[in-house]
Chain A
Amino acid sequence: MPEIALVEAINLALARAMTEDASVLVLGEDVGRDGGVFRATDGLLTRFGPERVLDTPLAEAAIAGISVGLAAQRFRPVAEIQFMGFAYSTIDQMLNQAARLRTRTRGRLSCPMVLRMPAGGGVHAPEHHSESGEACFTNIPGLRVVYPSSPRRAYGLLLAAIRDPDPVVFLEPTRLYRAAREDVADDGVALPLDRCFTLREGSDITLIGWGAIVRDMLAAADRLAAEGKQAEVIDVATLVPLDSASILASVARTGRCVICHEAPLTAGFGAEIAAQLAGPGLLSLLAPVERVTGWDTVMPLPRLEMQYIPGVERILAAARRSLQHG
């Protein structure tokens, strides 16, 4: 099996889904001839033709909106938003329309669409190109939110998202598009959309996160191991619906946890996990829940972005604080 980058795994899953299901369409800005600004849709136009790979006008709200119309007509549109900073104008369509169509028609119409986009910083991109806005979507009932952090998970989860009968917001860690590489079998096997991934088992502390920061969590776990502490590493990957059971079970074993995300702290999705740990998980805690997140500031331009994005050192510091308790 060849080793491929995360963005190539996205491409592989798109091609697979389009091959197996003629109702799958890819649309968005520059997804056709250009193959997407990150090349996620590279080659699809040649393989599947202009009726299945559509270069749209530059209109994000309408890209989401026409996807709702297509999905109601039994197509499975996979729409690309070029950067998460440009996705906010789709929220009206995703919140008021896509996420509700099944409910408000009592199942008469449904919306099997995927809205995929790169998210997060760390690639020295221009302003508005490095946003981590997952929490804007996780508070929308009727929507699934997925955020893989490895090529295999990107492949399997994107296949699952496309095959899912309901709308999915699919976030792709920009920082790992090329940096994360592994061998990926193009076997058409989807991964479950409601399960966390335990990437490393450990009994002393649980590191919980999603997106590009998962790589930093794994690096932190290596460092902790060198210090004699075994960290369990959980990639949440499917934020909504949240697999609380896996998280609670892990923290029940370790008694300690660090929740990590690149998005800002306040009302970030980590707060939901912390709240669950403070509820059903409270009596298993041996130390306060730690959160390592982006600051509650505007995402800075590239010169300061790596001081905004929490790295291995901040994760380690939080883990050590937690391990000192009790």
Chain B
Amino acid sequence: MTTETAAQFSITFTRYIDADGHPTGALPEFAARAADLIPLYRAMVLTRAFDAKAVALQRTGRLGTFASSLGQEAVGIGAASAMAPGDVLLPSFREQSAQLWRGVTPLELLLYWGGDERGSDFAGPREDFPISVPVAAHAPHAAGVALAFALRKEKRASLCILGDGATSKGDFYEAINMAGPWRLPMVMLVNNNQWAISVPRSAQTAAATLAQKAIAAGIPGEQVDGNDVVAVRDAVARALARAREGGGATLVEAITYRLSDHTTADDARRYRDDAAVTASWHGEPIARLRAYLVAQGAWSREDEEHALADAATAVDEATESYLATPPQPLAAIFDHLFAELPPSIRAQRAQALGQEAPDA
């Protein structure tokens, strides 16, 4: 018998700014000047203000079930800020930070979570996918979008964001596996917030990292500190650049923590200790980047007040518009079912609207 090592792998973990806001070394080019990080900081502040408002609206009966991204703002902002406008985002239901950066408006997000499909008819990023509520179902869509780019020889890439629980699903693996031999221009970003509703990361898989699931698919995988917006952006930017240049897909695992309940319909105290949550506030992405910016002399108390006020204004204006938006007419449930409504459904439409049914 002979036994030898057939293959060997390792997974790296990258962080540029530590939990206390101290740089761990030189920052990447896009972050060379602290002031360059201010738009990312402001976007994270906007996301947090939006989440707080959305939760408040739900608690007062004016919004449907909502998934806050509290504590995970750096994942979406880091990733989306690495995207080119022509790239396509395929978000799960907790990536409003990325969507806001991409140009989805707070009003559209409120409409969607308020139960109105017009919230997925983005005026901004027209090719971005709507929020995927089914877990990991959008992973093969990202592969399909990437395949479309590759076939058209366009230098564009798709970015799919999904959670730690999603890596247990077949759709996730089927998508990254397909991306391997076809060298698809796709980035699969795992927002590992440690919890899939009540199931902790440790119960989700015995794998030491989620990033290593890339190895089985034959694509690179790496971990980054998901509370460090610089690390997320750097890894995703590298992965997107590689993808656009024909280098194939990458899996990035961003390690963060879900400081909120799963959704407004959840009570996380049923299954996790408050102490662990409280401890996880240390190193959360906004305080971390603020500490860095302040230490670099790039951020003042006045800047902070302005950022908070601007975010509040944007969110309040969106809320006002949302609450003033009348529901769609009932006909809307029929009118987008097919490009052209078949006669049988035209009859149902007429019936639903209380009209005389046309001759079938």
Contact = CB atoms under 8 A, between A and B. Distances in A.
Contacts of B117: 103-106
B174 A75 contact: no
B246 interface: no
Interface in A72-106: 72-75, 77, 89, 92-93, 96-97, 102-106
Contacts of A72: 127, 129, 141, 144-145
A62 interface: yes
Given A68-B141, A96-B134, A194-B343, A75 B151 contact: yes
Interface string B38-68: 0000000000000000000000000000000
Contacts of A142: 337-338
Interface in A273-294: none
Nearest to B119: A106
A224 interface: no
B139 A65 contact: yes
A66 B139 CA distance: 9
B27 interface: no
Nearest to B153: A51
A62 B151 CA distance: 18
Interface string A242-261: 11110010000000000000
Nearest to A103: B336
A89 B127 CA distance: 27
Nearest to A166: B338
A69 B147 contact: yes
Contacts of B332: 106
Contacts of A248: 360
Nearest to B131: A104
B140 interface: yes
Interface stretch (A34-42, A53-61, A154-162, A208-216): A53-61
A188 interface: no
Majority DSSP secondary structure for residues of B touching A: helix
Contact of A241 (B181, B336, B344): B344
A105 B120 contact: yes
A276 B148 CA distance: 43
A241 B337 contact: no
A236 to B, nearest CB: 13
Contact of B120 (A108, A110, A141): A108
Nearest to A194: B342
A103 B339 CA distance: 10
Given A104-B130, A106-B118, A73 B149 contact: yes
B322 interface: no
Nearest to B123: A108
B140 A69 contact: yes
Interface in A1-55: 25, 51
B140 A65 contact: yes
A261 B349 CA distance: 29
Contacts of B343: 194, 241, 245
Nearest to B143: A66
Interface in B334-360: 336-340, 342-345, 360
Given A104-B117, A106-B118, A108-B121, A65 B339 contact: no
B171 A61 contact: yes
Interface residues of B, number: 44
B122 interface: yes
Contacts of B140: 61-62, 64-66, 68-69, 93
B339 A165 contact: yes
Given A108-B120, A245-B360, A65 B145 contact: no
B145 A69 contact: yes
Among A57, A64, A69, A244, chain B packs the most CB atoms within 10 A around the CB of A69
Contact of A166 (B121, B181, B339): B339
A106 B336 contact: yes
B170 interface: yes
A59 B176 CA distance: 11
B144 A68 contact: yes
Nearest to A246: B360
A312 interface: no
B137 A69 contact: no
A109 B129 contact: yes
Contacts of A166: 338-339
B174 A73 contact: no
Contacts of B339: 102, 110, 164-166
A93 B336 contact: no
A206 interface: no
Contacts of A102: 336-339
A70 interface: yes
- A-B pairs, top 8 by smallest CB distance, nearest first, are A69-B144, A65-B140, A73-B148, A241-B342, A62-B174, A66-B144, A165-B339, A69-B141
20 contacts: A25-B151, A51-B151, A57-B178, A61-B174, A62-B143, A65-B144, A66-B140, A66-B143, A69-B141, A69-B145, A70-B144, A70-B148, A73-B88, A93-B140, A102-B338, A103-B333, A103-B337, A166-B339, A241-B342, A244-B344
Given A72-B144, A73-B144, 16 more contacts: A57-B181, A62-B171, A65-B144, A66-B140, A66-B141, A70-B148, A71-B144, A73-B145, A73-B149, A97-B134, A102-B338, A104-B117, A106-B117, A106-B121, A107-B121, A164-B339
Interface of B: 88, 117-118, 120-122, 126-127, 129-130, 134, 137, 139-149, 151, 158, 170-171, 174-175, 177-178, 181, 332-333, 336-340, 342-345, 360
